[in-house]
Amino acid sequence: MTLKLRAALMAATALCGTSAMAETTLNALFMAQAAYSEDDIRAMTASFESAHPDVKINLEFVPYEGLHDKTVLSQGAGGGYDVVLFDVIWPAEYSENGILLDVSDKITEDMKAGILPGAWTTVDYDGKSYGMPWILDTKYLFYNKDMLKQAGIDTPPATWAELQEDAQTIKDAGLVDHPIVWSWAQAEAAICDYTTLLSAFGGDFLKEGAPEFQTGGGLDALHYMVDSFKSGLTNPNSKEFLEEDVRNVFQNGDAAFALNWTYMYNLANTSEESKVAGNVGVVPAPGVEGSSSVSAVNGSMGLGIPSTSENPDLAWDYIVHMTSQPVQDTYAKLSLPIWKSSYEDTAVTAGQEELIDAASKSLAAMYPRPMTPRYQEMSMALQQGIQEALLGMASPEDALQGAADNSGL
């Protein structure tokens, strides 16, 4: 019975195989969150397909939260993915488990010279490259120009302390109930906000492989979050928000300040659905007096080839296309190019000079999250700690100590 079934299955799969021989199909995994929109990615892909008529690319979009697990789980599937999007925090784990192909020798001198050095840190681990950088991203401080003007604030805050003061001024002026909005849901998004603050306060995640975030700047960062949360200056719903919730609240005019990725700038400033279009200001995330002038988290992502891909060469061609300067320059509204010279190209910078200006400072200050094969576990423990502190279930000290104990490091 099972034998028959299996034979039938094999026959069926064989049939599918022959019919697909005429053209090669690549499966690519992307995320439906932040950076390039689904429509952008579909359009970029269409231009690759029209140049390669014998190739068909199936696009798969999952939430960021599903990206890591889908990549890992597809390892068992022969016809899994040929191209996957990966976050800057995963190359260590992926390399340890042999999930991505080492593409170091495919990277040309032109690429090495033309792409920003910061971008390469996204795909490199232990001296090897596991793909091409594709999204060069960090968190910026967005502000509602109208609200700041009405509150009599001339320049956006340059330090985190100033942000609190300005927020207080705006709250007192009755312009908005909760001036600041963040993405502090139990997710990687909260870690990105935390990392930005940790870098501003001069903290460290790890020291010699052991957790260090529970002391010094790491602890100051969480104290800052908790104070801002308890004072009511931060939207209390931040504790269940992801990036898209932040964008929704900000572009509905329900917040004066927001910490978010590049993509929010043009969506909030130009799109029809935004109620604050034309009023969106962007600056680097502020610094802390005496330790930093700006702060930033490395939130970049790369495109890699899973080791199970049956068409690695074609997959590489597709990655080269997606990361090429012309493609990146064409779709530079939601994600800034990885290429140095693009930032001097007026076609790219036109209409988003403010963002480019902020980027020039932020991208240079990008702070990495720890490179460890056990990142997922550490992150999960830290997310829990941050939430416990925000919700008043534990003091920041105890919460971070608990996270350190639970981090598996």
Partner 1 sequence: MEHQSRWFRLFIHLMALLVALIILMPLAWLFVMSISSNADLSAKPLRWWPNEIDISRYATLFDRSDNSAGQAFMASLFNSIKVAGMATIAAIMVAIPAGWALSRNPRLGWVLGGIIATYMLPPVALSIPLYFILAKFGLLNNVFGLGLVYLSILAPFVTWLLKSGFDPIPKDLERAAAIDGARLDQMLRIVILPLAMPVIATATIFAFLLAWDEFFYALLFTSNQDAKTLTVAIADLAGGRVSDYGLIATAGVIAALPPVLIGILMQRSLISGLTNGGVKG
Partner 2 sequence: MFSERMSPRALLLMLPLVLVMIAVIGWPLVDTIRLSMTDARLAGTSGEFIGADNYTKTVSSRNFQSAFWATMRFSVWSVSIELVLGVLVALLLNQRFYGRTLLRALMILPWALPTVVNATLWRLIYNPEYGALNALLTQIGMLDAYRSWLGEPSSAMTALIVADVWKNFPLVALIALAALQAVPKDIRAAAISDGANAWKRFRYVIMPYLIGPLMVALVLRTIEAFKVFDLIWIMTRGGPANSTRSLSILVYQEAFAFQRVGSGASLALIITLIITVLAVAYLMIMRRFAGEAR
Where along the sequence are the contacts to partner 2 (CB under 8 A)?
Answer: 1-2, 65, 68-69, 72-73, 75, 96-99, 185-187, 236-237, 239-240, 245, 248-249, 252, 254, 374, 376-377, 380, 383-384, 387-388, 391, 393, 406
- Smaller CB distance to partner 2: residue 94 or 367? 94
CB of 394 to partner 2, least distance (A): 9
The entry of partner 1, partner 2, none near residue 387 (CB within 5 to 8 angstroms by kind) is partner 2
72 binds, among partner 2, partner 1, none (CB under 5 to 8 A by kind): partner 2
Of partner 1, partner 2, none, which one sits near residue 62, judging by CB under 5 to 8 A according to partner kind? partner 1
8 A C-beta contact, residue 29 and residue 71: yes
Lateral strand order in the sheet of 83-87: 55-62, 24-31, 83-87, 301-304, 132-135
**HSE value, Cβ hemisphere, 13 Å, CA-based, for 98:** 5
Per the structure block, which two tokens stand in for 323? 């990361």
Query: By the criterion CB under 8 A, which residues form the site for partner 1?
Result: 5-6, 9, 12-13, 27, 29, 31-33, 37-38, 42, 45-46, 57-66, 70, 73-81, 242, 244-245, 247-248, 252, 273
Task: List the structure tokens of 42.
Answer: 């579909």
Rounded CA gap, 365 and 299, in Å? 12
CB of 2 to partner 2, least distance (A): 6
Q: How far is the CB of 310 from partner 1 (least distance, A)?
A: 12
CB nearer to partner 1: give 90 or 120.
90
* Closest separation in Å from C-beta 115 to partner 2: 29
Question: What is the number of H-type helices and E-type strands within the chain?
Answer: 18, 15
Taking the least distance from each CB to partner 1, the nearer of 66 and 368 is: 66
Q: Which is nearer to partner 1, 32 or 277 (CB)?
A: 32
Nearer to partner 1, 76 or 127 (CB): 76
Between 237 and 291, whose beta carbon lies closer to partner 2? 237
- Name the residue nearer to partner 2 (CB basis): 351 or 392: 392
Least distance CB 377 / partner 2 (angstroms): 5
Written as six digits, the tokens of 62 are: 């999952």
Choose from partner 2, partner 1, none: what does 376 bind? Cβ within 5-8 Å by kind. partner 2
Rounded CA gap, 400 and 383, in Å? Answer: 10
Cβ(259)–Cβ(286) below 8 Å:
no
Residue 263: CB minimum distance to partner 2, A: 20
Q: Which residues are CB-contacts of 270 (< 8 A; sequence separation ≥ 6)? A: 277, 278, 351
Angle between helices 375-390 and 396-406 (to 10 degrees): 160
For residue 40, is it left (φ>0), alpha (ψ between -120 and 50) or beta?
A: alpha
List the single partner that 364 binds among partner 2, partner 1, none, CB under 5 to 8 Å by kind: none
Q: State the burial class of residue 348 (Cβ atoms within 10 Å of its Cβ: 0-12, 13-18, 19+).
A: buried
